[in-house]
Amino acid sequence: MSGDIVITVNGKLHTVQSTPDTPLLYVLRNEIGLNGPHFGCGGEKCGACMVLVGAEPRLSCHLPVSEIGRARITTLEGLIEEGELHPVQRAFIEEQATQCGYCVNGMIITTAALLWKNPHPTDEQVRTALDGNLCRCGSHLRILRAVRRAELLMSGKGSE
């Protein structure tokens, strides 16, 4: 049973040791050693565990690893290319868009997915996209500003 599942995470193949019903989150964190996706609620209600499955933001705390198939998983770490932070990550630094930063994984993943699909979203579209991501520190306004900065950076209009 174990060892049959192979998943692609951040461009690399991994043979999964866990049972097929194991939620993807624990495979990513404990087998592959990633820190981006966090356990927040275990009930798909807060967004802390978000990853990209293909280009779709998905909650990983319930998603069985056996359902991933050939889809490419990208985590927060995987957004970094050749040592260069993704524009969304840069935007979050430039806007200082966290307090504790525990939820920031889901915020960045959601934003990246949104801006790929819709490079110039309205304010309402941004807020709606982020409504499934909870932040307890109240960093919402900074996160919204970071989305706008990321929009500029991704369309090549932003500065460092």
> Which helix (H) or strand (E) is 73 found in, with range?
strand 72-74
Could you give the residue ranges of the DSSP H alpha helices within 3-102? 24-26, 87-94
Shortest distance in whole angstroms from residue 41 CB to another protein:
4
Phi, psi values for residue 52, rounded to 5°: -95, 125
Interaction between residue 12 and another protein (CB under 8 A)? no
Choose which of 16, 38, 114, 115 interacts with another protein (CB under 8 A). Answer: 38
- Going by C-beta distance under 8 Å and a sequence separation of 6 or more, which residues neighbour residue 129? 110, 111, 113, 114, 121
* Closer to another protein by Cβ: residue 45 or 117: 45
> Hunting for tokens 């889809």 — which residue is that?
71
Choose which of 15, 54, 67, 137 interacts with another protein (CB under 8 A). Answer: 137
Binding residues for another protein (CB under 8 A): 18-19, 22-23, 26, 29-30, 33-36, 38-43, 45-46, 48, 75-77, 80, 85, 89, 92-93, 96-105, 108, 124, 126-128, 130-131, 133-144
